[in-house]
Amino acid sequence: MQGVENWTVVGLLGFVALLYTVYRAVKEVSKDFKAPLSEANSKIENHELRLKNLESGAKNLNEEIESQKEMIRLILVQISALAKDDKEAIKKASENIDKYLRKQF
């Protein structure tokens, strides 16, 4: 019986060694999968950051365009008043342009 128990212990130790070997092999293979995955995640994060910057830039550009549209509208009102030689309208348009510029800067 002693011999059977020894073989059982040896068998268990062998099985544990086999499991450990399989574990190390799986761990080694997983490194091969993790490296490209990590690189891909890094690229995704970089693209997300670039996208946020583009969205922010687009928002700023839209605000700038709206600001320029308003300034053009005020200038056209001024030109119209000048063309009509309406002194009151010229003065009012000049004041509106002045107010707008002070508000912007």
SS3 85: coil
| Separation of alpha carbons 48 and 68, rounded Å | 30
- Its pTM stands at 0.53
Write down the mean pLDDT value for the chain: 84
| Residue 35 to residues 44, 46, 54, 99, Cα–Cα distance (Å) | 14, 17, 29, 59
pLDDT single digits (tens) 46-89:
888 898 988 888 889 999 999 999 999 999 999 999 999 999 99
| Separation of alpha carbons 98 and 83, rounded Å | 20
Task: Write down the pLDDT at residue 15.
Answer: 80
| Residue 41 to residues 30, 44, 45, 46, Cα–Cα distance (Å) | 16, 5, 6, 9
| Separation of alpha carbons 97 and 1, rounded Å | 106
Task: Write down the pLDDT at residue 67.
Answer: 92
